Structure 1
Amino acid sequence: MDDVDSDEFKRRRRRRSVAIAWALAALVVLFFIVTLVRLGGNVADRTF
């Protein structure tokens, strides 16, 4: 494997890693929003 292939491989791996990171971040946001929607107005009514 020469330097050109190695650079291309690194570039593709980096792009794939960034895509996976964005997908995970989107799932975290989705779960957070779903949790807020499911709790609804009960969040403000909690007493400690």
Structure 2
Amino acid sequence: MAIKVEHELHERRRGRNLGVALILTALIAIVFGLTVVKVLQLDDIRQFESFDHVANPYADQEEGGTE
């Protein structure tokens, strides 16, 4: 049975990896939170479609319009 001794380099790497993981998790949480807030502020779902930078004829039609 081999005895595994962890080098101090592994401890430093583990600390750095944990720090990077926390930063990435925080960034993902911020982007997700901003997205949720932006979507919840919309009055009508058609407003969400109009945020694209592509012409969308369905977003320009009024309710009850013909296709």
- For Structure 1 versus Structure 2, the TM-score category normalised by the shorter chain is 0.7 to 0.9
Per the TM alignment, residue 4 of structure 1 is displaced from its structure 2 partner at its CA by 1.8
Bigger CA radius of gyration: 2
Q: Which has the higher contact order (CA 8 A, sep 6+)?
A: 2
TM-score between the two structures when normalised by the length of structure 1? 0.75
Q: Structure 2 length as normaliser, TM-score?
A: 0.57
Q: 5+ unaligned residues in a row in structure 1: which ranges? A: none
Q: Which one of the candidate residues 28, 34, 38 is aligned to 1:35?
A: 38
Where in structure 1 do 4 or more consecutive aligned residues deviate above 3 Å?
A: none
Between the two proteins, the alignment pairs up a number of residues equal to 45
Aligned-CA RMSD value: 2.0
